[in-house]
Amino acid sequence: MNALKKYMGLVWVILGPLAIHYLLQTATSQIHDKPGIDTQIQWGVFIGVFYPIAIGFILFGLYALEGNYDHLPEASEELDDYDAKPL
């Protein structure tokens, strides 16, 4: 299961930049096709919302590749051990 987590981490790391590229490419072509303030505002909102989500994909994938999700706590007592570890 840990191998699957690391494999999926790699998928997320690749998917994040691809999503950003596709988002910016689509926004550029749409704004070029229909130049107007309403289109610019619409795509500005889309980029403002989905850009941080794509960055989160990358971070999530990096954490998975580092092995941060290899052992997940199964009981409340195990959570106390995580509080003492520095980031």
Q: Give residue 79's pLDDT.
A: 66
Query: Would you kindly state where each structural domain of the chain is located, as residue ranges?
Result: 2-69
> Look-up: residue for tokens 């195990």?
78
pLDDT in tens, 23-50: 999 999 999 999 899 989 999 999 999 9
Q: Give residue 73's pLDDT.
A: 67
Listed in sequence order, the residues at least 6 apart from 10 whose beta carbon sits closer than 8 Å to its beta carbon are 61, 65
How many other CB atoms sit within 10 Å of the CB of residue 54?
19
Q: Give residue 86's pLDDT.
A: 53
Here the tokens at position 49 are 């919302």
pLDDT in tens, 43-63: 999 999 999 999 999 999 998
